Structure 1
């Protein structure tokens, strides 16, 4: 067992150094996928907010580096590390991770395809990392002047986004559930630019200081009819789109019950409908 752990540590460092050569800043991870080094301020509740200014290790993605000497120091300080994390949002790639989860009970790949059809974008050939649970991480790059926030299920159920301040588990990492691997035919690729239409979906919408509140009657009824006119395979997508429009126009709370009723009529469960509408609310209200 000790030999296996030692081999995992050695491989993790080797993969991390290889990623750094490609301009990807890395940190060591434990088998739990969490940063291997704990905060040096964990026992001081009154410590000021520190992003590594203290000079010590243990600040998560703020420790991330592309410098081989520093990476070796990080791994030497965490000899139990069996994986590595790749910090998102940093130059030169400004990485954005699209995490297609399989644990939510939804088909996240289908949800992404539906979003692509609705918003007229395609995912270009890019690096794809396969997770031990059967999920996929798509690597994309963003503009240098745009910070994409982290989110969970905000784009669509089962789709999480790793942006500024977040990290992706790097291929070659060994976790408690297995090893992360690069999908065949994608390891040699450079992360592709995020399609503009998708990028707009990932960013919080601008919030008006005094938004107009239109009547919920005519516009709201149109959104309900839009949900009811669903075709097979589009129920969640239509409901999500309609709920986004409702919250953007200030009638989300008033339209909650009618949208749920319409979604149930199309075959969704009430629980699924509420989860989709909640995702739309989070997206449009920026939380």
Structure 2
């Protein structure tokens, strides 16, 4: 039996052309806002099958071959390209929005409604425990009653996809993932924008939440333990002082501790431990090293 690059021709009742035209219209509207899109089938999967589905060996292609059918790697904001993708998939009834791409670097917080989970309460508890609030942003209601919260991330941060890692019922759509766009129709129903949010732009992801979305750093020695081995109990105390910093006092505590370390002649030996402690509290490596360098210049005794 011959095979083709697309499913058997669907009947008009099951795949109404109107649904495809509406999906294309919504996809083009999203592209005008800078969101890269792909056509989706009624099962929420990419509508176009991979041109390499029979290829078992060789490097994985992410669209370098120039043919469609590479899932989220086909995503585009170019109207001509989008129309061509939908022309190749006349059975498409929805569209997907690629996450992690410029200019928005979209992050999707998927609050599911699986039996036995209360993802909304779980997110609220995370917000209370980690001191963040979800700003006003686009919210998409799924056919099952779940919600997709749209946030944006920094351009130099790659947020991975995850399922249930943050909390039961909370899935994350990051780089390499996609969100079903509002206006899409699936077997379960239609995706819609929550009232009062369709005019909003995706809001920046709160910094505390962003840290939770990133994979844990490689295991390293405890900053205080490393300081103790290099500089003794005094160095450990200075590192613990930095580790106890809260938002608004991180730079101040780091600068004070670094000044004390350099005045006591252990600044060089303690620098890496102080920087590691400051990064643990939320500063970037660059910010922390700049602060320590300032302390070193301030504490340097004038030569005679």
Tell me, yes or no, if structure 1 residue 9 matches structure 2 residue 20.
yes
Q: Does 1:185 align with 2:196?
A: yes
Alpha-carbon distance, 1:48 to partner = 2.2
Q: Secondary structure at the match of 1:2?
A: coil
CA offset digits 1:212-248 (Å, max 9, x no partner): 9x9xxxxxxxxxxxxxxxxxxxxxxxxxxxxxxxxxx
**Does 2:188 correspond to 1:163?**
no
Structure of greater Rg: 2
Equivalents in 2 of 1:74, 1:47: separation in Å?
25
- The answer (yes or no) to whether the contact 1:103–1:158 under 8 Å persists in 2 is yes
The corresponding residue for 1:117 is 128
TM-score (norm 2): 0.68
- Matched position secondary structure for 1:137: strand
Give the ranges of 4+ consecutive aligned residues of structure 1 lying more than 4 Å apart after TM superposition.
Answer: 209-212
**Long gaps (5+) in structure 2:** 1-10, 226-304
Given candidates 129, 132, 139, the residue that maps to 1:128 is 139
Residue 91 of structure 2 corresponds to 80
Larger RCO (alpha carbons 8 Å, 6+ apart): 1
Aligned residue among 23, 29, 34 for 1:23: 34
Q: Distance in 1 between matches of 2:222 and 2:41?
A: 46
SS of the residue aligned with 1:122?
A: coil
Partner of 2:187: 176
Q: CA RMSD in A?
A: 1.5
Aligned residues: 213
Output the CA distance in 2 between the equivalents of 1:47 and 1:173: 35
- The answer as to whether partners of 1:121 and 1:197 remain within 8 angstroms in 2 is yes
Secondary structure of the corresponding residue to residue 16 of structure 2: helix
TM-score between the two structures when normalised by the length of structure 1: 0.72
Q: Which range is displaced more, 99-108 or 186-195?
A: 99-108
